[in-house]
Chains A and B, each alone.
Chain A
Amino acid sequence: MYEAPSWFLELWNARQTLAAGFATTLACSVLAVLGGTLLGTLGGLALTYGRWPLRLPFRVYSDLIRGTPVFVLVLACYYMAPALGLRPTPFQAGTAALLLFCGSHVAEIVRGALQAIPRGQHEAAKAIGLTFAQSLKEVLLPQALRQILPTWVNASTEIVKASTLLSVIGVAELLLSSQQVIARTFMTLQFYLFAGLLFFLINFAIERLGRYLEKRVTLP
């Protein structure tokens, strides 16, 4: 009589595949969020304070990328890169797509937060003789940060979820790794649920981190 192996046994057998997938998901998400935050902050500054020659390229970038499905971005980064003379690995192309996507959203978040700061703050900073760079660093960005944090946490979790789309260009992230295990074990429900749990844990951790940071910067 054939007895199906227990799920725990299969999970144990699949541990390396899943761990690698988990690591890949983390790696591309972290790179995309960090790079996207940097790009988006520069974009937000340019959109808020730049003259039009600087504003225009960022405006086009932001509108174009935000108006495109991430799925299309992932495919575009992978299949259109050779036309630009680049030969990215699937991981590089996929991470670039997520980074561009994250950057466009962070740019709008930063722009919104900076524009919400009352004009008087900038004027008071000028009045005591701070240069623009100093007033950004000491006065404007610290205040914008409080507004940025909650939405930034949201954007980061979106990136983690969107990283599953990298499976279509063959990046063995957590979802594709799980599918590979399922193809071998036919334990569809169990492994999808397990993958779902891991995604939830990543995003829950980001959420907690965001809450913690928010609390630290809350004003009395």
Chain B
Amino acid sequence: MTDSNVPLLSIDDLHKSFGTVEVLKGIDLSLDRGDVVTLIGSSGSGKTTLLRCVNLLEDFQGGSIRLAGEAIGYREEGGRRQRLPEREIARQRSLTGMAFQQFNLFPHLTALENVTLGLRKVKKMGKDEAVAIGEQWLRRVGLIERRDYHPGQLSGGQQQRVAIARAIAMNPSLMLFDEPTSALDPELVGEVLAVIKDLAQDGMTMLLVTHEMRFAYEVSDRIVFMSQGRIEEQGPPRELFERPRSTRLAEFLGRTSF
């Protein structure tokens, strides 16, 4: 199933409702290996929900998400759609990494333990191997000297960098970033964006949600503008930002500071 002709991520006609409110109204999106794609749009447009569906933190009612050809979250059986068993879902989740707006580091574990928990419990690595990989990633995000600190002793920017290391250490084929800098003080945003940019240049496949338009412009291969649960427009950043075709996008860009 690792045929390189198959897109890494392919989302087809995705529908998602919260109760009677439909928040995703048929999303089609596809990412090849190494693609960096940023979702933009006003709040309530469904960008974060889309990201959470890809990581199976939300269920969805229609359509499909495929990761390297493998259907995520559900299987069809005799025409009926069934949610996969929990163990299978946990395995699929470990194929994608996620960075959250609120970091969500585990406060009772040190920075290094945060990074190695998944390696040890999900990948069943021995302690030495997990620590070696954990240290390697902490070094990469510039926090090796903070390895024994607890999250409460780190700044927001440092916490987010540890959280990114925690996700990346699992060697996911796709990284998801859900507004990774929205909860940060302005002076801490830069250090986190630098880490993400570094990973992008390394060839990591990424799907991001961000309000940092300049960053999105610089780092993305493609920008996807969402509005009211649909993809309104997508294309290379230069094209999208400089020659928006839809009026909604033009309005959105007009309201957004660059």
Contact residues of A with B, CB < 8 Å? 118, 120-121, 123-132, 134, 138-139, 142-143, 146, 217, 219-220
Which one of A124, A127, A131, A219 contacts B86 once the chains associate, using CB atoms below 8 Å?
A131
Chain A residues with CB below 8 A from B118, complex form: 128-130
- The contact string, 1 if C-beta is below 8 Å from chain A, for chain B 77-109, is 000000000110011011011101010111110
Chain A residues with CB below 8 A from B108, complex form: 142-143, 146, 217, 219
Q: Are B93's CB and A127's CB within 8 A?
A: yes
**Shortest 10 CB-CB distances between A and B: which pairs?**
A129-B94, A128-B118, A124-B104, A120-B104, A127-B98, A129-B122, A131-B90, A142-B108, A129-B93, A220-B150
Q: Are A124's CB and B97's CB within 8 A?
A: no
Which one of A120, A124, A130, A220 contacts B153 once the chains associate, using CB atoms below 8 Å?
A220
Chain A residues with CB below 8 A from B152, complex form: 219-220
Q: Are B121's CB and A219's CB within 8 A?
A: no
Q: With both chains docked as a complex, state the minimum distance between the C-beta of B36 and any C-beta of chain A, in angstroms.
A: 20
Q: Are B170's CB and A123's CB within 8 A?
A: no
Q: Can you name 12 extra interface pairs (CB under 8 A) apart from A125-B106, A220-B152? A: A121-B106, A124-B100, A126-B93, A127-B98, A127-B100, A128-B122, A129-B91, A129-B93, A138-B117, A219-B108, A219-B152, A220-B153
Chain B residues with CB below 8 A from A118, complex form: 102, 104
Name the CB-closest residue of B to A146: B108
Chain B residues with CB below 8 A from A124, complex form: 98, 100, 104-106, 163
Could you give 24 example pairs across A and B, Cβ below 8 Å?
A118-B102, A118-B104, A120-B100, A120-B102, A123-B57, A123-B100, A124-B104, A124-B105, A124-B106, A124-B163, A126-B55, A126-B93, A127-B55, A127-B93, A128-B93, A128-B118, A128-B167, A130-B118, A130-B122, A134-B122, A138-B106, A139-B117, A143-B108, A220-B153
Q: With both chains docked as a complex, state the minimum distance between the C-beta of B158 and any C-beta of chain A, in angstroms.
A: 14
Asked if B15 is at the interface (CB within 8 A of a chain A CB), the reply is no
CB-CB contacts below 8 Å: B133-168 with A:
149-150, 152-153, 163, 166-167
Whole-angstrom CA separation of A131 from B149 in the bound complex: 26
CB-CB contacts below 8 Å: B167-202 with A:
167, 170
Q: With both chains docked as a complex, state the minimum distance between the C-beta of A80 and any C-beta of chain B, in angstroms.
A: 41
Whole-angstrom CA separation of A179 from B101 in the bound complex: 64
Q: With both chains docked as a complex, state the minimum distance between the C-beta of A184 and any C-beta of chain B, in angstroms.
A: 55
Chain B residues with CB below 8 A from A143, complex form: 106-108
- The contact string, 1 if C-beta is below 8 Å from chain A, for chain B 103-125, is 01111100000000110011000
Q: With both chains docked as a complex, state the minimum distance between the C-beta of B42 and any C-beta of chain A, in angstroms.
A: 23
Chain A residues with CB below 8 A from B91, complex form: 129
Chain B residues with CB below 8 A from A131, complex form: 86-87, 90
Q: Are B117's CB and A126's CB within 8 A?
A: no
Chain B residues with CB below 8 A from A217, complex form: 108
Whole-angstrom CA separation of A94 from B56 in the bound complex: 49
Chain B residues with CB below 8 A from A121, complex form: 104, 106
Chain A residues with CB below 8 A from B93, complex form: 126-129
Which one of A123, A128, A146 contacts B117 once the chains associate, using CB atoms below 8 Å?
A128
Whole-angstrom CA separation of A220 from B150 in the bound complex: 7
Whole-angstrom CA separation of A219 from B151 in the bound complex: 10
Q: Are B122's CB and A123's CB within 8 A?
A: no
Whole-angstrom CA separation of A204 from B107 in the bound complex: 31
Chain B residues with CB below 8 A from A134, complex form: 121-122
Which one of B87, B102, B170 contacts A128 once the chains associate, using CB atoms below 8 Å?
B170
Which one of B87, B104, B107 contacts A123 once the chains associate, using CB atoms below 8 Å?
B104
Name the CB-closest residue of A to B170: A128
State whether A132 and B150 are in contact (beta carbons under 8 Å apart), knowing that A124-B100, A219-B107 are contacts in the complex.
no
Name the CB-closest residue of A to B101: A120
Which one of A120, A132, A138, A142 contacts B121 once the chains associate, using CB atoms below 8 Å?
A138
